[in-house]
């Protein structure tokens, strides 16, 4: 993705904007720019969890050749991004520690049904939503960051902007369900996801809603 002087980036890619019904609230963006160590720490954890998720598909569905090959590639890519974020953290003297699941990830995971093929369908659609939201936030946050960091996030956006489409395509191809069934389930999960990124959140995380301890009046000057 092209980056202009000062780290400014283009708008959210049209395919991602069209997929997500609800944009990230400005209050989350305001918090993110004042909490860069927290942002980077959770982002590193997210990349590690994304690699683990991709590996999970490999272990659960190794007989699905196309899915297994794509997830193998995705796991390696997410691990490279984990290494890159860790490198930035080291340069900024930000220590790494493992974080548990956020409200966002936990609530979406709770929506996954137990029986096949609905389990596979839900896992793929949840993966699509998380990937799309990640890229939307890369695009929205990049212009607000210091130039070097803004360039990094713009580069991640360029690398990951199609990931969600792969997840959606597999949802249609691998589950043996009709298009209407897939789209109905996606609509339902989008509604859950929209609440999670707009309702106040007790924790600031990469995929959280606006921090509950941050009011609109102080959002522009809160410090970590």
* CATH number of the domain enclosing 116: 1.20.1260.10
Q: How many domains does the chain have?
A: 1
What is the number of alpha carbons within 13 Å of residue 72 lying toward its C-beta? 10
- For residue 128, is it within any domain? yes
Does residue 222 lie within any of the structural domains? no
The answer as to whether 110 is a domain residue is yes
Cα–chain-centroid distance for residue 24? 12
Residue 63 lies in a domain: yes
33: left (phi over 0), alpha (psi -120 to 50) or beta: alpha
CA dist list (Å): 189 to 13, 20, 124, 150: 21, 11, 11, 30
Q: According to the model, what pLDDT value does residue 11 have?
A: 80
41 inside domain: yes
| Residue 73 in domain | yes
Per-residue pLDDT of the chain (224 residues; tens, 9 = 90+): 333 323 333 489 999 999 998 999 999 999 999 999 999 999 999 999 999 999 999 999 999 999 999 999 999 999 999 999 999 999 999 999 999 999 999 999 999 999 999 999 999 999 999 999 999 999 999 999 999 999 999 999 998 999 999 999 999 999 999 999 999 999 999 999 999 999 999 999 999 999 998 644 343 333 33
CA distance 55 to 213: 36
Q: Is residue 112 part of a domain?
A: yes
Q: Which residues contact 33 (CB under 8 A, 6 or more apart)?
A: 141, 144, 145
CA 204 to chain centre: 14
Residue 16 located in a structural domain: no
Q: How far is CA 19 from CA 13, 118, 191, 215, in A?
A: 10, 21, 12, 29
What domain range includes position 56? 25-205
pLDDT at position 214, please?
A: 62
pLDDT of residue 213: 80
């Amino acid at each position: 993705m092209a980056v202009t002087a000062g780290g400014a980036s283009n708008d959210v890619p049209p395919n991602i904007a069209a997929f997500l019904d609800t944009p990230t609230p400005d209050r989350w963006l305001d918090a993110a720019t004042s909490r860069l160590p927290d942002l980077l720490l959770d982002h590193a954890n997210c990349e590690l969890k994304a690699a683990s998720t991709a590996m999970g598909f490999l272990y659960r569905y190794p007989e699905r050749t196309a899915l297994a090959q794509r997830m193998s590639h995705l796991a390696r890519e997410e691990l490279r991004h984990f290494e890159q974020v860790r490198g930035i953290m080291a340069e900024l003297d930000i220590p790494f520690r493992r974080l548990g699941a956020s409200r966002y990830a936990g609530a979406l995971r709770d929506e996954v049904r137990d029986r096949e093929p609905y389990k596979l369908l839900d896992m793929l659609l949840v993966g699509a939503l998380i990937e799309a939201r990640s890229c939307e936030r890369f695009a929205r946050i990049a212009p607000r960051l210091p130039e070097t960091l803004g360039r990094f996030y713009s580069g991640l956006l360029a690398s990951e902007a199609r990931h969600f489409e792969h997840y959606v395509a597999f949802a249609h191809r691998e589950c043996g369900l009709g298009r209407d069934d897939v789209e109905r389930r996606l609509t339902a999960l989008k509604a859950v996801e929209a609440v999670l990124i707009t309702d106040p959140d007790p924790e600031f995380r990469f995929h959280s809603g606006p921090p509950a301890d941050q009011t609109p009046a102080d959002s522009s000057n809160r410090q970590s």
